[in-house]
Structure formats: C-alpha cells, structure tokens
Amino acid sequence: MQTSTLKPVFRLSSFSKDILRTIAATSNVSDIKTDANLKSWKEIPGPPSLPLIGILHHFLPGGELQNFEIPGVVQRLFDKYGPLIKFEGMLRTRDIIVLGDPETSAYVLRSENWLPIRPGFFSLEHYRKEYKNGKGQNSRATGLITDHGEVWKDFRSTVNPVMLQPRNIKLYSSVLDEVAQDMIKRMKADRDEKNMIRNNFNVEMNLWALESIATVALGCRLNCLDHSLAEDSPAKQLIQCIHDFFIMADKLDFKPGLWRYISTPTYRKAMKLYERQENLTKYFVKKGVEQLKLNANQKSNNEKGVLEKLLEINEEYAYIMASDMLFAGVDTAANTMTATLYLLATHQDKQDKLREEILSKSIKRPYLKACIKEAMRMMPVVSGSIRTATKDYNLMGYKIPKGMDIVCSHREMSLMEKHYLRAQEYIPERWTAEKDDPLYYGNTNPLTFAPFGFGARSCIGRRIAELEIETFLTRVIENFKVEWFGPPPKLVQTSLIHIKGPFNFIFKDAK
C-alpha cells in the first residue's frame, strides 16, 4: 500500500491530497479495458474450495472459518491471504470478494455510486417479494432495505429530502431529550445496591432506542420506558423480533443451507418471524397515523414531522418507511450506545473530559461527537459495506466479473495500525486533532471508516441516529459516573455485530 510513503506529501493541501489519493487508488485498480493480462478471480487467495461442498468444511471444528461469528477471524484471514480474499459460494450462497484495502474499497464504492446494489437480507427480500406474493399481499415497492434499481431509486429520492433534511431532524431535539431524561429516571430507579442496572442491559438499551426512533417514525411516544410494560407487550415483542431477525437473517443469508431448494424448518421459522415483525410494526404505524389524524391541521408545515410529511407525499411509502425505521433503527442505535458507554467507562480520563465539555453548556460539542465516532471505529455495529458489482473490475490484478458480491471490511481496516496511528486505542482526540498532528484522522483514506456506509445507498437514518445518541449520551454523562469491571464484553457477529455482555456497568451518581 502506497499511503505511508505518500503521507508527507499528503499534507501539502487538500487539493493535492485528493489528486494523490486518486493516484494511490489507481495503482491498485484500473479500468478493465486497459488491462488485458488479468488473473481470474478464482486465483484470488482464500480458504480453498472443494467440489460440491465449496468452503463448507472450513466452518467445522478446527477449520479456519470456525468461530466465524467472533469478530477477528477476518483480520486473521487478511494476515494470511493479503488484502483481497475470495470466499467461494456453496449450496447456492454467492461467491464473495472481501477487501481489506481502503483505496481499492473506495474505488469500488465510488464506481458503484449510481444505482448501487447492496445484497444481503435475501431471505427478507424473498419474504417481501415472493412469500407474501404467494399470499396475494405484495405491493410494488418493498422498502429501502430490500429494493434495488429503479424501484429503490424512486423510493429513496422520495424520502431523502424528508429524512436527511437537518431542519426536519432538529424538530426532534426536545422530544428525544424527553426520552433520554425518562431513560435516566428509569436507570436510576433500576439500580441495585452496587449501582448496577438490575434488568438485562441489552433490553434496556433497545427499549431506549425503540422509544427514540418511534418519536420520529410514528410521531408519538410508545411509552416503552414505563415500568408497568408487560413482558408480552407489543413493544417488548418487537424488540425481541428485531433482535432475532438479525440472527435468523445471518443463518439464512450468509451460511450454507438448503432453504433455497426446499422449505426447511429454519426457513419456515424465519418466514413466521418476519411476518410477526411486520405485523407488529404495522400495529405501531397504524397507532401513529391515527394519532396524527387526531391532531391534523393543528401544525404549520415547519412543525410537521417525518411521518406527516411522508404521508402527504406518498402514503404507501410513508407506511413502508415508518416500518423500516422501527426495524433498522433499534438494534443499530442500541449497540452503538452500549459500545460508546463501554469505551468511556474503561477510559475515565476521556469520560471526565467529555463531562467537562457537557457541563460547559457550550452549544458546539466536538468532543461528544468524537467520542461516538471513535466508538464506532473500534466497535462498529455493521462490519462493512457490501455491493454487487454492476460491471467488471480490475482489482489488484484480478478480473472481478459483474454480478459478484464485494465486501469492504471497514471494521478491520479501521483497526489496522497502517491506517490509524495507535489503532487499537480509544482516542477520540484523533477526530478533533489539527492537520499537523500525527493522529489526525485525515491521514488515511476517508473510506477506511464508514460506519453508516457510503454514497447514495448510505444509511438514511444517520442524522436521526446521531441526534438520538448524542442526546442520550449527554444525559448519561451529566448524571452518572460510568464504570466497568471485569473483562470486555463478548461480541458476536451475525448480520450485525452484537454486544453480548456480560454488561458489567456501574452507574454512580455524578458529583
């Protein structure tokens, strides 16, 4: 990788930096037409494949893909095979190319920035487009997560101006702060004599995330933080469903299985789970719409929230988008919040510095943003960006044919010392450092780190998630001195990287 030798020159100016990045990028990749001597993608290093079973045997005990659910396996594979790895598909799972090089990743992501296809969630796509169709329930659009091509583009360009407009998102500042303060009260009430939270911490963070995203998706409070909420309440059922969904989707979408040929028990279980989750979100969206109708005509256009605005533009899209917000915005925000709290609890100096910034009451809070960003670098909830190539590529001398899935492993790249100085350390200061500081984040390719993905297909909930997390983290640090004891929590990689616990947090009153 040329980045390190180019580093001193990078500092000349942002203009020359961009040019040099392009040169660095094109040394690993080039246009397919200019290079006739490419090797086949089959020659890319990776776990060797066998006839019929592909790479299945590597998942067995002793195999190099055993424990694939523990993050870290991919880094070991990069160490062994280099920054371009091939996983051959098996039992109709697809061939995948995994990239651990930022410049090559940037080249792919930027080249796919017109109508990008993000594969994955095949079983959900199957549920929404085929299974329901069999039941006569399919509509044309199924949502941003499962649609592609022109259908996706029409949906996305309709919802983008509403969902990404900072003015629309700012409307939620005070209600999200209300949710944060209610959550603080709940945490205070739920502490035991050791100042630990009695209830399952993971469920608690999910309840906060669901209550927060519901204010945006439905325009009303769900009251998930109410202590009288029953275990079988729709809110708790939905949280469980969303959590189970990511585990189930991983089983069906990325692991070998026969469901693509026959109706297996796991497949039937998944279809039931997806149906239950859909019915629960529909129940909440209906409730939200009814409440909005009750208060109709009482608000000026500037006061109208996301759901109201979407309903005026396209009712069908409004329903689908609200459901997908409840689905995509819960586990993601909850795990990011837990990761940030864990890293601040284990770095008391950083926590004190953050508390100082918060108590100063200054409107701009760069260190707050930096603490969250740095947590997402070290413990991201999504491990990388994935695209189905819409054209042939030359990547590092190999021909990657159109139609192949390419994964850019941001998690691993972000933890490599050659991209971030002291990469294994939690240093929020790297995101606020000046350009002449060796820690300065801009010394690496911006696409090394992409917690919300990239380009036209990037996370549509980004601004909402950032506001939710910043608001709640502010209240937590204002109210508690957060501590941690014992070893780090376990992480499990499914479609998301879940923090499994144990959650050894201590929440003492802040002085």
Annotated binding residues for heme, written as ranges, equal 459
- Given the complex with ligand HEM, which of 165 and 264 has the nearer CB atom? 165
Residues 6+ apart with CB under 8 A from 318: 307, 310, 311
Nearer to ligand HEM, 143 or 489 (CB): 143
Q: Give the whole-angstrom CA distance, residue 398 versus residue 394.
A: 5
Name which of 121 and 201 has its Cβ closer to ligand HEM: 121
Q: Give the residue among 381, 465, 30 at the shortest CA–CA distance from 213.
A: 465
Distance (Å, rounded) from C-alpha 30 to C-alpha 246? 36
Which one, 187 or 408, has the nearer CB to ligand HEM?
408
Nearer to ligand HEM, 382 or 482 (CB): 382
H/E element, 216: helix 201-217
Closest CA to 75 of 498, 441, 491, 503: 491
Structure-token pair, residue 13: 């100016």
The least CB distance from residue 176 to ligand HEM, in Å, is 11
Nearer to ligand HEM, 195 or 390 (CB): 390
Q: How far is the CB of 288 from ligand HEM (least distance, A)?
A: 14
Nearest distance in Å: CB 49, ligand HEM = 27
Work out how close the CB of 302 gets to ligand HEM at its nearest, in angstroms, rounded to a whole number.
21
Residue type, 197: I
Residue 471 to residue 474: CA distance in whole angstroms: 5
Extract the annotated binding site. Answer: 459
Q: How many helices (H) and strands (E) does the chain have?
A: 19, 12
Give the C-alpha separation, 419 to 3, whole Å.
8
d(CA 448, CA 292): 42
Cα angle value 323/325/326 (rounded, 5°): 65
3-class secondary structure, 120: coil
Q: Which is nearer to ligand HEM, 226 or 470 (CB)?
A: 470
Pick 336 or 394: Cβ nearer ligand HEM: 336
To the nearest whole angstrom, how small is the minimum distance from the Cβ of residue 113 to ligand HEM?
Answer: 10
CB atoms under 10 Å from CB of 435, counted, come to: 12
CB of 129 to ligand HEM, least distance (A): 15
- Provide the minimum distance between the beta carbon of 45 and ligand HEM in the complex, in angstroms, as a whole number: 26
> What residue ranges bind ligand HEM (CB under 6 A)?
118, 144-145, 156, 213, 324-325, 328-329, 332-333, 336, 381-382, 385, 451-454, 457-461, 464-465
Q: How far is the CB of 340 from ligand HEM (least distance, A)?
A: 10
Where are the alpha helices (H) located in 379-508, listed in sequence order? Answer: 410-414, 462-479
Q: Which residues of 332-360 are buried (b: 16+ CB within 10 A; e: fewer)?
A: bbbbbbbbbbbbbbebeebbebbbebbee
- Closest to ligand HEM by CB, 292 or 459: 459
Peptide bond into 45 cis (omega under 30): no
> Which are the contacts of 35, defined by CB distance < 8 A and separation ≥ 6?
394, 397
Least Å distance, CB 55 to ligand HEM, is 24
Q: Which one, of 351, 366, 341, lies nearest residue 506 by Cα?
A: 341
Closest CA to 77 of 393, 405, 411: 411
